[in-house]
Amino acid sequence: MGRGKLDILASVDKAPHTAVTVTGKVTDKATGAPLPNVTVKVTNDTRNRSVTTGSDGSYRVSLPPDTYSFSLSAYGSTTDTLSGVELTTGQPLTQNVALTPVTTHSVSGTVLDVTGKPLAKATVSLPGTPVDAVTTAADGTYTLPKVAEGAYTLRVSPAAPLICNGTYSGDLKVDGAETADVKLPNRTDAGGTYSCAPVASSWIKGATNTGLTTDEDARTISLPFPVKYYGVTYTSASVTTGLVNFLQPRLGDYANTALPTAAKPNGVVAAFWDDLVLDKKSSVQTAVSGKTGTRTFAVVWNNASIAADSSVRITFEAVFDEATGAITLQYKTASAPAHCSAAAQRPPASRTRPAPTASATPSTRAS
């Protein structure tokens, strides 16, 4: 490494000044109004440049002398291509273009949830366009009144509470009045290993008391059958107030956060993650039912109270299915609304564990 001064101004002065400046304005052919946000793409065999018009429809690009193609495209207009545009040293070029507007049409449809019922308050949008998003009505219907002809991505996002409703993204081609009905997909975890599907409730009554008490306690229990969770098989698990932890009997995990997260606790099934208190009116039990190969194992939290408000009590359970690997989260009673995290949280990626495979993907179910 050497030291010295670099005279940037002198270097610039000595550089060849051969770039050609192209300026222009893009307007609407029908009205003459300037068109903002038009993509001006300039290409040849060796170069590929793009600029966007400003609010006044103007653009500016500097290029080495050569022959180029100019392609101008914008929402609501036909794409215009100018081929064989020759740029010569010392000869700035003005290239004004008027784009032809395309016809607009309505796009309407009905949004259904994962059970096939109309879904209200879902947001319907066309990402990357200036079309305003709309919200579905009580009967699940929506209308985008004016969509220019073209190809788009239609996106539908459910409103909270999401339950098992995922977000839909699909292709949409508009060349006339379109009907685009959408059934939302099942939500999946971040890795796509577990999906969520609502099922009919089939409550399993607890049989064996775990001995959990107070608001911070943990018990390690032996599982009646091996449970595979994110590709790892476990024979025991730790039960705490609202969590089943396959990695360790942690205490102090009473402040729930949004999942997934890299922060601990990891490797948990969060049936009802909150600061729960187990008093004399509460218990945590387990129960096994069925025959070998088709058994279910339930961890049941009975009448647990919320630390922040002891008048709020909830009974819920996590049920593990031996045959399918499904995990069912069931909620029997809640005396008042409560806020919690309920989800599957995988072990940290830094652990040496087999990666889950799509062919062995189970479903996480909630009812």
Does residue 342 share a domain with residue 226?
yes
Does residue 207 share a domain with residue 172?
no
Does residue 115 share a domain with residue 91?
no
pLDDT tens-digit map of 72-94: 999 999 999 999 999 999 999 99
Single out the residue in 99, 133, 153 at which a domain terminates: 99
pLDDT tens-digit map of 323-333: 999 999 999 87
What percentage of the chain reaches a pLDDT higher than 70? 86
CATH of residue 113's domain is 2.60.40.10
pLDDT tens-digit map of 96-143: 999 999 999 999 999 999 999 999 999 999 999 999 999 999 999 999
3-state secondary structure (DSSP) of residue 57:
coil
Does residue 320 share a domain with residue 215?
yes
Range of the domain at 71: 18-99
Does residue 178 share a domain with residue 205?
no
Higher pLDDT, 361 or 92: 92
Does residue 109 share a domain with residue 94?
no
pTM: 0.77
Question: What's the domain count of the chain?
Answer: 3
Does residue 225 share a domain with residue 284?
yes
Has residue 7 been placed in a domain? no
Is residue 255 scored above 80 in pLDDT? no
Does residue 63 share a domain with residue 31?
yes
What pLDDT is recorded for position 367?
A: 45
Length of the chain as a residue count: 367
Is residue 12 scored above 60 in pLDDT? no
**176: its two tokens:** 């006339």
Is residue 2 scored above 60 in pLDDT? no
Has residue 6 been placed in a domain? no
* Rounded distance between C-alpha atoms, residue 124 and residue 144, angstroms: 8
Find the mean pLDDT for residues 307-328.
93
Single out the residue in 81, 99, 117 at which a domain terminates: 99
Q: Give the pLDDT band (50/70/90) at residue 347.
A: low
Does residue 34 share a domain with residue 83?
yes
**77: its two tokens:** 């207009």
* Rounded distance between C-alpha atoms, residue 255 and residue 251, angstroms: 11
Convert the chain into a string of H (helix), E (strand) and C (coil): CCCCCCCHHHHHHHCCCCCEEEEEEEEECCCCCECCCCEEEEECCCCEEEEECCCCCEEEEEECCEEEEEEEECCCECCEEEEEEEEECCECEECCEEECECCEEEEEEEEECCCCCECCCCEEECCCCCCCCEECCCCCEEEEEEEECEEEEEEEECCCCCCCECCEEEEEEECCCEECCEECCECECCCCCCEEEECCCCCCCCCEECCCCECCCCEEEEEEEEEEECCEEEEEEEECCCEEECCCCCCCCCCCCCCCCCCCCCCEEEEEECCEEECCCCEEEEEEECCCCCCEEEEEEEEEEECCEEEEEEEEEEEEECCCCCEEEEEEEECCCCCCEEEEECCCCCCCCCCCCHHHCCEEEEC
Single out the residue in 71, 99, 127 at which a domain terminates: 99
